[in-house]
Structure 1
Amino acid sequence: MIQILTAILIFIVSYIFWVVYKNRNSGTSKVNLPPGSFGWPFLGESLALLRAGWDGVPERFVHERIKKHGSPLVFKTSLLGDRVAVLCGPAGNKFLFGNENKLVAAWWPFPVRKLFGKCLITIRGDEAKWMRKMLLSYLGPDAFASHYAATMDVVTRSHIETHWRGKEEVNVYQTVKLYTFELACRLFLSLEEPNHIAKLGFLFNIFLKGVIELPIDFPGTRFNRSKKAAASIRTELMMLIEARRVALEEGNASSSQDLLSHLLTSSDESGRYLTEWEIANNILLLLFAGHDTSTCSITLIMKRLGEHPNVYDKVLNEQLEISKTKAAGEMLKWKDIQKMKYTWNVVSEVMRLTSPVTGAFREALVDFEYAGYTIPKGWKLYWCAASTHKDEGNFDDVAQFDPSRFEGTGPSPYTYVPFGGGPRMCLGKEFSRLEVLVFIHNIVTNFKWDLLIPDEKIEYDPMATPQKGLPVRLHSRQV
């Protein structure tokens, strides 16, 4: 009975959206639109996009349509309820990154906007510039150079002693998730109580599954569960925010203590402060970004190091050279991170082959011409890192794992875009880089490992994750 009612509801919703789309776009039939297909009413080609990710080949969605429609630069489609022009390859990336706030502006599908609320990724214009500047003062390279490396090293060593030392087998993805979330909670919120972190982590795992999902909102759907989890996370964050505000007023906390204090005490040039709700939304965003993308990256790096012993040995040698310069018990410093050049080349090649995030969206602010076609105002635009990184025209032996690609000047401009580009380049790029390198330093200097499922499938749901979480057998390097 439930299945029948669900089918009827989906049919009704699809029909309504079909009528809306038909009426809304009746005036564009004479416009020279890019080639392509809008697919099914409401659903569009969303299932094909999602299925490509589930199959572990997100680039397939773009590559198949380029071949089918004979248009290597742009094609039209419909994704997650919106009409979309997909701009392909380095030319598309350059155009979108270079025309931010001119011809295009940041945009995310309804599920993202609904779940995150008003925050950095869902606002535009001067407000977005101010918020980005405020966050960069906490998350930029200058901030990390001061003390974050040592703090990350402390948390990483403690995590390894607790969750890795003495274990014969470890599920990498599940274990690294504990690390990245604990680290984000500590650096952003000064939250260290294990049960509280575990509660938030449980809610985040539910929340993540609905971020890139069809916005079907009734009990039992992923989107509905994700929405409820987001509400619960905000409730927890609002209590932390209120407690910190009181602590700041009473002189029991400092403005430089962590991201939460920074957001509570920072204002724009006119003296405007973020509301508590806006602070909660931005912390939700940064906990999400700091938790999930780094978890995926570290897991995939460990997979590649397990598959390529020669690469592991080179990474290990570089990290041991750094260790030799440290006194017993001395923490890593920013200058040590700068020496990890080969290790970062390995990380970069891992992100090329398996981008943690496959791409992002923009919205057309005006009608404009691209590659001889008209993109109407209000249409959405999508760029896909995964398809650019897996294009044979951009990389030789595109499927080969080869960290040497990043030596010297590295790849050609706009062919390697794991963090996006332009004014909307990923705010957490330096945070992620530091977090990943500190972890790799500690894990390779302590362990070597064997993959228990050598050819484990990678699936995107919505981020790149080994299907079974990458179980490994550990071998301690300490005698």
Structure 2
Amino acid sequence: MNTIITIFLFLIPIFLLLTRRKRSSGRLPPGSLGLPIVGQSLELLWAMQANTAEQWLQKRIRKYGPISKINLFGKPSVFIYGQAANKFVFTSDSSTIVNQQVKSISSILGDRCLLELIGKDHKRVRDALVSFLKPESLKEYVGKMDEEVKKHLEMHWHGKQQVKVLPLMKTLTFDIICSLLFGLGRGTRRDKLFIDFQHMIDGMWSVPVNLPFTRYNRSLQASARAQKLLKGLIGEKRVDLQKGASPRQDLITCLLSIRNEKNEQVISEKEIIHNVKLIMVAGHDTSSVLLTFLVRLLANDPAIYAAVLQEQEEIAKNKPNGELLTWEDLAKMKYTWRVAMETLRLFPPVFGGFRKAVKDIEYGGYLIPKDWQIFWVTGMTQMDNSIFPEPSKFDPTRFENPESIPPYCFIPFGGGPRICPGYEFARIETLVSIHYLVTRFTWKLLSDNFFSRDPTPVPTKGLPVQISPRKLL
């Protein structure tokens, strides 16, 4: 009898576990996980290349509803979208979901960057980055940004009849990052880093199969070379700091200088390297895409171009003898920034993102199992007719009163505690660049307007334009 009771007591938890699993699996979102590892990754990547990713996702929504399971980049995932999804992603704390990128991104950028850190570690590293990137600190760098933009135009635009905008915008944003954030001057090292950086980006959204012929493998190798170069640069900055260099001369030096009450370095060398690589990607790719599509949209809309030019010429008139732009000048560029925001709405550089469930989560009537990936897409709310009437129309007046836009419907820089710390840096970079482009050049497009996603929007021919110089005021 005792044996029967013992067996019965032993079987109870097993029975409860099995019934719980059966009940949970029945509450999973509809959909298919597809083939192991690959899943629907290639389908999504092909759709992005063809610029039909939103249509591909809409087809899933019509078939499965607003929540569905999917397998992306080697992990079972749940796809969610909409205002509620955006709010869920940006307001949930680390006890519910955490930042965890797909393996390809985390392997290339590193596991100690902001995209991977949670809790106290995330706050510690973020606070360190914000100490350099906050508006009060960046005011003194407007002049340096001005000089970098004018130098770029002198080297790559003046005297030319035709240019390809996207490659040049990538060069410009990379040079600005290297000079202002990393203190890395022009030369062989910067050129090598630029090449490795391009290869590094190529495999960030890829199936994580590490074989010699894959983009993922090439990106890993490029990331390792970039990391070695950055390690050497950090060593040089550490020596400069010991010799009395200003802690504010660049971001790397600033991070090295931050110490606690025990005089210990707050940010480790590994964290500096991984976050420098993250900033290279975030500050380079997104800003170059924004500037490229601004040039494209201004070419297609003479009225918008004329209004931007008028605003910028008013500022230029008050800058005799080639004086540098100031923080106060940027504050006057209100219309230009509204044009930039509308460009971000129509052509978001970031397609979507990933999180990880740290426990079983009830969402929208379904279960998101622990350790599953959460895939969300920002741009689908930005093209929602119920939120933005006539969403395909380019209309900067939408941003005259930002408070009229429902929360979590337009989030080009993220939201909540994970809002992009480089937001203000991107704003300065964009406004200074557009100021000199429109006051010094006119242009017209030389090719069709088609673009693909890789994963950022990329004009298929690099957006070639015919340019003509304008007379300086």
Do Structure 1 and Structure 2 share a fold, with TM-score over 0.5? yes
Paired residue for 1:139, among 127, 133, 139?
Answer: 133
1:30 equivalenced with 2:22 (yes/no): no
Aligned position for 1:281: 274
Q: Distance in 2 between matches of 1:150 and 1:27?
A: 63
Q: CA deviation at 1:48?
A: 2.0
Q: Distance in 2 between matches of 1:269 and 1:424?
A: 27
Q: Distance in 2 between matches of 1:461 and 1:198?
A: 23
Secondary structure of the 1:121 match is coil
Q: Deviations over 1:121-149 (max 9, x none)?
A: 1111101101001100111222122x121
Superposed, which structure 2 residues align to 1:435-446 within 5 Å? 435-446=429-440
Secondary structure of the 2:106 match is helix
Aligned position for 2:450: 457
**TM-score in terms of structure 2 length:** 0.92
Q: CA deviation at 1:29?
A: 6.0
1:127 equivalenced with 2:133 (yes/no): no
Q: Which one-letter code corresponds to 2:251 in the other structure?
A: L
Q: Deviations over 1:272-317 (max 9, x none)?
A: 4323222111111112222111111111111111111111111101
Q: Distance in 1 between matches of 2:30 and 2:417?
A: 29
Shift in alpha-carbon separation, 1:51–1:391, aligned structure 2, 3 A? farther
Shift in alpha-carbon separation, 1:214–1:26, aligned structure 2, 3 A? farther
1:86 equivalenced with 2:83 (yes/no): no
Q: Which one-letter code corresponds to 1:419 in the other structure?
A: F
Secondary structure of the 1:153 match is helix
Shift in alpha-carbon separation, 1:131–1:27, aligned structure 2, 3 A? farther
Aligned position for 1:110: 103
Q: Distance in 2 between matches of 1:124 and 1:109?
A: 16
Shift in alpha-carbon separation, 1:144–1:57, aligned structure 2, 3 A? farther
Aligned position for 2:14: none
Aligned position for 1:21: none
Contact in 2 for aligned 1:111/1:211 (Cα 8 Å): yes
Shift in alpha-carbon separation, 1:27–1:246, aligned structure 2, 3 A? farther
Q: Distance in 2 between matches of 1:57 and 1:307?
A: 22
1:315 equivalenced with 2:308 (yes/no): yes
Q: Distance in 2 between matches of 1:268 and 1:216?
A: 41
Aligned position for 2:15: none
Secondary structure of the 1:347 match is helix
Higher alpha-carbon Rg = 2
Q: Distance in 2 between matches of 1:56 and 1:256?
A: 42
Structure 1: segments with no counterpart, 5+ residues: 1-24
Aligned position for 1:75: 68
Aligned position for 1:326: 319
Q: Distance in 2 between matches of 1:30 and 1:224?
A: 35
Secondary structure of the 2:321 match is coil
Superposed, which structure 2 residues align to 1:29-68 within 5 Å? 30-68=25-63
Shift in alpha-carbon separation, 1:374–1:128, aligned structure 2, 3 A? same
Q: Distance in 2 between matches of 1:272 and 1:148?
A: 25
RMSD of equivalent CA atoms: 1.7
Q: Which one-letter code corresponds to 1:114 in the other structure?
A: S
Secondary structure of the 2:336 match is helix
Contact in 1 for aligned 2:132/2:248 (Cα 8 Å): no
Q: Distance in 2 between matches of 1:28 and 1:187?
A: 55
Q: Distance in 2 between matches of 1:244 and 1:102?
A: 37
Superposed, which structure 2 residues align to 1:208-227 within 5 Å? 208-227=201-220
Secondary structure of the 1:332 match is coil
Contact in 2 for aligned 1:358/1:386 (Cα 8 Å): yes
Q: CA deviation at 1:181?
A: 0.7
Shift in alpha-carbon separation, 1:272–1:61, aligned structure 2, 3 A? farther
Secondary structure of the 1:211 match is coil
Aligned position for 1:255: 247
Q: Which one-letter code corresponds to 1:58 in the other structure?
A: A
Report the count of equivalent residues: 450
Contact in 2 for aligned 1:60/1:387 (Cα 8 Å): no
Shift in alpha-carbon separation, 1:52–1:243, aligned structure 2, 3 A? same
Q: Which one-letter code corresponds to 1:34 in the other structure?
A: P
Q: Distance in 1 between matches of 2:467 and 2:434?
A: 15
Superposed, which structure 2 residues align to 1:389-400 within 5 Å? 389-400=382-393
Q: Deviations over 1:26-78 (max 9, x none)?
A: 86763411222212222111122212211123322322211111x23x22211
Q: Which one-letter code corresponds to 2:337 in the other structure?
A: W
Q: Deviations over 1:314-338 (max 9, x none)?
A: 1101111111222321111111111
Q: Which one-letter code corresponds to 1:448 in the other structure?
A: T
Secondary structure of the 1:449 match is strand
Aligned position for 1:172: 165
1:448 equivalenced with 2:442 (yes/no): yes
1:296 equivalenced with 2:301 (yes/no): no
Q: CA deviation at 1:166?
A: 1.0
Shift in alpha-carbon separation, 1:61–1:26, aligned structure 2, 3 A? farther
1:417 equivalenced with 2:411 (yes/no): yes
Identity %: 40
Q: CA deviation at 1:469?
A: 0.5
Q: CA deviation at 1:189?
A: 1.8
Contact in 1 for aligned 2:142/2:428 (Cα 8 Å): yes
Q: Which one-letter code corresponds to 1:119 in the other structure?
A: C
Aligned position for 1:200: 193
Q: Distance in 1 between matches of 2:299 and 2:326?
A: 27
Q: Which one-letter code corresponds to 2:369 in the other structure?
A: P
Contact in 2 for aligned 1:46/1:79 (Cα 8 Å): yes
